[in-house]
Amino acid sequence: MTDQPREGTLQSTAVLTEQTDPAGIEPGDGAAAEAAAGPRAKARTLRRMLRQPVTLFCLAMLLLQVVLALGAPLIAPYDPAAPNVANKLQGPSGDHWLGTDDLGRDTLSRIIYGTRTALLASTESVAIGLVLGVGLGLFVGYRGGWWDRIGMRIADVMQSIPALLLALALVAVLGSGLGNAMLAVGLIFAVSFMRITRAVVLAEREKLYVDAARVLGLRSSGIMLRQVLPNVSPPLIVQASIALGTALLIEATLSFLGVGIDATQVSWGAMLDASRQHVSEHPLLAILPGAAITLSVLAFNLLGDGLRDAGSPRSAPRAGSGKKAKLPIVSTPVPSPDDALLRVDGLTVTDRNGAQLISDVSFHIKRGETFGVVGESGCGKSITAAAILGLLPKGVTIAGGSIRLEDSELAGLSGEALRQVRGKRIGMVFQDPGSALSPVHTVGRQLTDAIRAHSGLSKAEAHDRAAELLTLVGVPNPQERLKDYPHQFSGGMAQRVVIAGALACDPELLIADEPTTALDVTIQAQVLDLLASLRERLQMSLLIITHDLGVVADSCDRVAVMYAGQIVEQRSVEDAFAEPKHPYTEALLAAVPHSETDGEPLATIPGRVPPAWAWPQGCRFNPRCPYATDDCRTGTVPADADGVRCLRVTELQLAGAR
């Protein structure tokens, strides 16, 4: 119906099923989440599933259903269709465990035979839906163009008629009977599966690996079947499982309405319909088939949920977690000058498994100073910044050490006391301005809220202040732009807005976590210049977290180099860059291409940063260090007066930046 897709179009495609879960068919997330599942990961997914008790219950239910359906003639004590008027409307008894219905037929036997109908109906319709839907979805998704437009238009038409209604209409055309009813339901499913498949195909088609396959000259059909299709299956399996439940519900509904099954078949829905006249005297007649339907649908739905959870990396236990012996929490006090604004002392942060994300981190920032923390990803820079403002992720906690802002201790602070620090005394700027602002609120709203969080300003006053802030950070037309939404700003301008928000209440310290990483080169320089001039004008201190040594060289007075959760060197930028004292600092400086490295190979650091649960014994840099000796592999390495953690600090002559 709509040509211009809205963001929810994928979700809104799920018209057919009362329980199609939109979250499940979202191609981006779903596919990415499942993306980790190759055959080996598949086995892992299976194991994870088997650890979920609910999923196990569902599998058991499913097995029971299959057994009942296949073995109905052997298991059922009576012929489900044989009337025995003498015995009608009996309560439970030794002969009839669950009693009899208005024609004297055995309820237990009818429930058992009903399983057969239910299972047959749901598998049949889902199979039809899958075969048709996946085929069509692959086709229109890959061909695109007119095929796609026609396919989607037809899907729109089919889905503008509610599923049940369409089933009714199709039954009217095809004639009643389970087969026809389920064919109808299958056709409806096909539309939904087609949409899901198409959505995943469209998302996968944009992936670079498809481009790479095309550049390799692989055949289109091969790319489709061998590369794209496997990525479609995880969301489809989840949806198919849920569709089984939906099909069962629709079958029951149609039977209940008397248009589904014919008289020779036994269906839970029809049993319910028949029970209505006697419901007040014989409630069991209505309760039992309903409970059977509910349980079956529940099993299918929960199975789908379980499959989804097992396939998503969120629930994946982290490799190596819990295996590692806990490191002792060491705290080496480092003297800091009296005029320090922020003093971090022996800070250790652990995750929920006790792995130390950062260990014994100590540094201070003076008033008006720009302090840089530099290192590769996974070294604990951002965790350090987050710990200062109490913004650590769930399960990650401060295990030791202190963070003092002038005279107040920030470690362990919570609630209102913490809030009084955030924004008011310490402001923070984040890496990606695109996601750091709420997309559905105006910039003005977000700025005024930040201003009013710590001031008694009226709305109008806060609005004026917000405009002032935008002027301060160099956003032109502040009054106009306050009405705009974040997506109407370019990356550089959005980052200026984020900075304005951080400055809302005149903080003494501004923490900038990779403030320019997401920006273009020339924009990055502008933002760094802005930060420098703001620091001067507002007399703040600045903490810049970055992986880019150039940013440090440009903007910082002093720098801490972090490696594997520890600060390994902490000195003035000039000194650290000219005469590094730690081999890691030397290696980082040498690895950057610059004007002198013409054609010659760059220096490299072998290997990579280990994960937090596998920090090496001894000096954490020793496996990658060209100067490491046996001593470096045992014991702990304390930091010296320059914050350098190297046993050979006095003997080594290291090369600085060229």
Partner 1 sequence: MSTDITPDTEQSSEPSEPSKDGPLLSVENLSVQYQLGRGMTGRAKTLTAVRDVSFSIETGRTLGLVGESGSGKSSIGRAILRLAPVSGGRIVFDGQDTATFGKRTPLSFNRDVQVVFQDPMSSLNPRQTIATTIGQAITRHRPLSGLERDREIEQALDRVGLSGYHADRYPHELSGGQRQRVAIARALAPRPRLIVCDEPVSALDVSTQSQVINLLMELQRELSVSYLFIAHDLEVVRHISDDIGVLYLGQMVEAGPADQVYRTPAHSYTQRLLASTLVANPARQAARTAERRALGADA
Partner 2 sequence: MTKFVLQRLLSALPTLLLVSAFVFTLVHLTPTDPVAQILGEGAPAADKDALREQMGLSRPIFEQYIDWLGGAVTGDLGNSLYTSIPVSESISTGIGITLSLAIAGMAIALLAGVPLGVLGALRPGTTADRLLTTVVALGLAVPSFWLGLLLVLVFAVNLGWLPVVGYTPIGEDPGAWATGMILPAIALGSHTAAVIARQTRSAMIDALESPYVTTLLARGIRKRKIVLRYAIKNAMVPVLAVIAIQMSVLVAASFVIERIFAVPGLGTMLIDSVVRADYPVLQGAIVLVAVIVLLVNLGADLLYGVINPKVRPQ
Residue with tokens 């209604």: 165
Q: Select the binding partner of residue 294 from partner 2, partner 1, none (C-beta < 5 to 8 A, by kind).
A: partner 2
Q: What string marks each residue from 591 to 620 as x (binds partner 2 by CB under 8 A) or -?
A: ------------------------------
Whether the CB-CB separation of 364 and 643 falls below 8 Å is answered with no
Sign of torsion over alpha carbons 576, 579, 584, 588:
positive
And the tokens for 104? 């004297």
* Residue of 219, 352, 441, 633 that binds partner 2 (CB under 8 A): 441
* Residue of 504, 509, 560, 605 that binds partner 2 (CB under 8 A): 504
Q: Select the binding partner of residue 503 from partner 1, partner 2, none (C-beta < 5 to 8 A, by kind).
A: none
Residue with tokens 């889905």: 159
32 vs 541: CA distance, rounded Å = 40
Specify burial of residue 387 (Cβ count, 10 A radius: 0-12, 13-18, 19+): buried
Query: Is there binding between residue 493 and partner 2 (CB under 8 A)?
Result: no
State the residues that interact with partner 1 by CB under 8 A. Answer: 3-4, 35-38, 40-41, 207-209, 211-218, 227, 230-231, 376-377, 520-526, 529, 547-554, 573-574, 577-578, 587-589, 591-595, 597-599, 601-605, 608-609, 657-658
CB atoms within 10 A of CB 262: 13
Nearer to partner 2, 245 or 380 (CB): 245
And the tokens for 38? 């190759």
Query: Residue 571 forms beta bridges with which residues?
Result: 559
Query: Residue 509 forms beta bridges with which residues?
Result: 426, 541
Nearer to partner 1, 125 or 495 (CB): 495
Measured from the CB of residue 7, what is the shortest distance to partner 2 in angstroms?
Answer: 7
Q: What string marks each residue from 235 to 254 as x (binds partner 2 by CB under 8 A) or -?
A: ----------x---x--xx-
Nearer to partner 1, 54 or 218 (CB): 218
Query: Residue 342 forms beta bridges with which residues?
Result: 365, 405
Q: Select the binding partner of residue 505 from partner 2, partner 1, none (C-beta < 5 to 8 A, by kind).
A: partner 2
Query: Is there binding between residue 439 and partner 2 (CB under 8 A)?
Result: yes
**E strand segments, 320-452:** 340-350, 356-366, 370-374, 397-405, 408-409, 426-429
Q: What string marks each residue from 99 to 138 as x (binds partner 2 by CB under 8 A) or -?
A: ----------------------------------------
Nearer to partner 2, 63 or 157 (CB): 157
Query: Residue 349 forms beta bridges with which residues?
Result: 358, 398
**E strand segments, 465-550:** 509-513, 541-546
Nearer to partner 2, 171 or 644 (CB): 171
Measured from the CB of residue 233, what is the shortest distance to partner 1 in angstroms?
Answer: 9
Residues 152-171 within binding reach of partner 2 (CB under 8 A): 153-154, 156-157, 160-165, 168-171
Residue with tokens 């004008």: 537
Sign of torsion over alpha carbons 380, 385, 388, 389:
negative
Measured from the CB of residue 597, what is the shortest distance to partner 1 in angstroms?
Answer: 6
Nearer to partner 2, 226 or 487 (CB): 487
Nearer to partner 1, 132 or 603 (CB): 603
Residue type, 478: P
* Residue of 231, 301, 359, 370 that binds partner 2 (CB under 8 A): 301
Nearer to partner 1, 415 or 599 (CB): 599
592 vs 553: CA distance, rounded Å = 13
Tell me whether strands 558-563 and 370-374 are parallel, antiparallel or unpaired: parallel
Specify burial of residue 531 (Cβ count, 10 A radius: 0-12, 13-18, 19+): buried
